[in-house]
Amino acid sequence: MDEITIRAEGLSIVFPGVKALSDVDFSLKKGEIRALVGKNGAGKSTLIKILTGIYRPASGRLFVDDTEIKNAGPEVMTKYGIKAIYQDNDLIPYFTIGESVLLRKEPRKGIFVDRKEMHQRAEAIFRERLGVEIDPYTLVRELNVSQQQLVQIAASLVERPKILIFDEPTAALSVKEIEKLFEIIFSLKKEGVSIIYISHRFGEVFKIADSITILTDGTKVADLNISDTTEDEVISMMAGNEKFSKAKNRVYDPRDTELALSVRGLGDGFLEDINFDLHQGEILGFYGGEGAGQQELAKAIYGESKARFESLKIFGKEITINSPAKAIKQGIAYIPRERLAEGIVRGFTVRENVTLPKLRAFAKGIFIDQGREDEVTREQIEKLGVKTPSTGTPIGNLSGGNQQKVVLARWIVVNPRILILDYPTIGIDVRAKNEVYKILLQLAESGMSLILITPEYEEVSMLCDRVIVIREGRIKKELSIKELTEYKLLSYAIGSAENGDNHD
């Protein structure tokens, strides 16, 4: 009988307005590589955070080597040999490789850290366990993404782990670096280490994994042996049986409208040869797996990141954008995904957040006309249905959905010609989502052109007139909304190239 290293029974967890996991069972054998797949929001990260002790489930049981773990935190799960390697690491830039690998496990001479021994041990782990020669005195900040990932892996091997979790580990790696990572994973498997491998790249999943668990909307759809399934079957299970339905009432024909934005030859080192058009009043969707290039594209057009364009035109006029200020001047606005970090100013009131980009319009000499600010803000609050005690309420006191409406209100006041939205409904409940959908459709009806980045098929199907699938920094496919199915969308976004190309 195969030895089970970890077993979960009936895991459920609820966040405000969302059941993130519902009665999920999960198990992993010793030396098994199990892929964990699902659309964005399917529950993969939530499950991993329970297994690593970051989240505690509302119900369910968790066992490691047949020992039930109750009320476990990260330190307890680490003690049981469960480690996670994340794409976004928390390494300290000014630490050496040796200091990073042996952090909190430093060898000592009396009360002092034995720095020589520490760096020798780190070097030995790299050489003997990873097959890599390194200088352990190199600073983390001098390493590339692949090398930093190896530091994380080496740190996890100091105390021999039972289970290693890799979360989208190849997103920023070259082909050669990916091959090296796979060599390391296979060598760990031979040592009896169990691997949970999360990836949206199905070519990798079918190359490396022994088995696969599919999650959809917080529930487990299936556990399958890789040898007994195909990409088509997995994608079909991820997509489910939901049929396409167009929720909006309008019929949009780009031939009746002016060309609002024309992008040719956009590249930034990751993005390559991006070409597309956006018409006036159109909602154009961009869809892809995590890290496919959607955010880079949005920030390039908004002037927030360095990029090159062969041509960038707004309403037929060739322009150059190298800063957000220039983008706003040209009529382009951007609502980022990270609402708390980039979208709102937490210490400001609702009024101050709404009027911030157009503050000069409310100036009276050296003073701000707060009466006029209040008038405009109240108008937007009423128009968008923002629930707030007053315009002077700190925005941090509002719910996520109402904060998002305030961010939308800010740009409605500016009245841009082109509005780029990166997952505008992230973290808000169903009712608030529907209200945001209505607002976006009204903006498009008024003639504003929208670029909508979203990982949700439902949002693409309900809101967009066209969708462009982006993958690994390139445009993979453009689909009209009439021909759209979730299966087809997923095939182009995360299936193998051959698989995606068979669905025209």
Q: Is the pLDDT of residue 427 over 70?
A: no
| Assigned architecture for domain 242-331+417-504 | 3-Layer(aba) Sandwich (3.40)
pLDDT tens, 74-129?
989 999 999 999 877 789 999 999 999 999 899 999 999 999 999 999 999 999 98
Q: Is the pLDDT of residue 429 over 90?
A: no
Mean pLDDT in the chain? 86
199-203, 459-463, 484-488, 495-499, range with the lowest pLDDT: 495-499
Quote the pLDDT of residue 344: 74
Can you give the pTM of this predicted structure? 0.69
Pairing of strands 474-480, 466-471: antiparallel
- Averaged pLDDT for residues 281-295: 91
Confidence grade of residue 245 (pLDDT, cut at 50, 70, 90)? very low
Q: In whole angstroms, give the CA distance from residue 130 to residue 447.
A: 57
Q: In whole angstroms, give the CA distance from residue 480 to residue 199.
A: 27
The 3 state secondary structure assigned to 194-212 is EEEEECCCHHHHHHHCCEE
Region for 350 from its dihedrals, namely left if φ exceeds 0, alpha if ψ lies in -120 to 50, beta otherwise: alpha
In degrees and rounded to multiples of 5, residue 247 shows phi and psi of -85, -20
- CB atoms closer than 10 angstroms to residue 434: 14
- Averaged pLDDT for residues 264-287: 94
Q: Is the pLDDT of residue 428 over 80?
A: no
Q: Where in the chain is the domain with CATH 3.40.50.300?
A: 4-239, 242-331+417-504
For the chain, percent of residues with pLDDT exceeding 90: 50
The 3 state secondary structure assigned to 305-357 is CCCECCEEEECCEECCCCCHHHHHHCCEEEECCCHHHHHCCCCCEHHHHHHHH
Quote the pLDDT of residue 456: 85
- Averaged pLDDT for residues 16-36: 89
Q: Helices 115-129 and 145-156, interaxial angle, to 10°?
A: 100
Which one is predicted more confidently, 24 or 380?
Answer: 24
Confidence grade of residue 486 (pLDDT, cut at 50, 70, 90)? confident
Quote the pLDDT of residue 382: 84
Could you tell me which residues come within 8 angstroms of residue 292 by beta carbon, excluding any fewer than 6 positions away?
A: 470, 471, 472, 473, 493
Quote the pLDDT of residue 280: 95
Q: In whole angstroms, give the CA distance from residue 309 to residue 36.
A: 37
Quote the pLDDT of residue 151: 94
Region for 339 from its dihedrals, namely left if φ exceeds 0, alpha if ψ lies in -120 to 50, beta otherwise: alpha
- Averaged pLDDT for residues 152-161: 90
Half-sphere exposure of 411 (CA within 13 A, CB side): 28
pLDDT tens, 342-395?
667 777 888 888 888 777 777 777 777 778 888 888 888 887 778 888 888 888
Confidence grade of residue 299 (pLDDT, cut at 50, 70, 90)? very high
CATH class of 4-239: alpha beta
Among 15-29, 161-175, 191-205, which range has the highest average pLDDT? 191-205
Q: Is the pLDDT of residue 414 over 70?
A: yes
Q: In whole angstroms, give the CA distance from residue 309 to residue 321.
A: 10
- Averaged pLDDT for residues 7-22: 84
Quote the pLDDT of residue 242: 45
Confidence grade of residue 1 (pLDDT, cut at 50, 70, 90)? very low
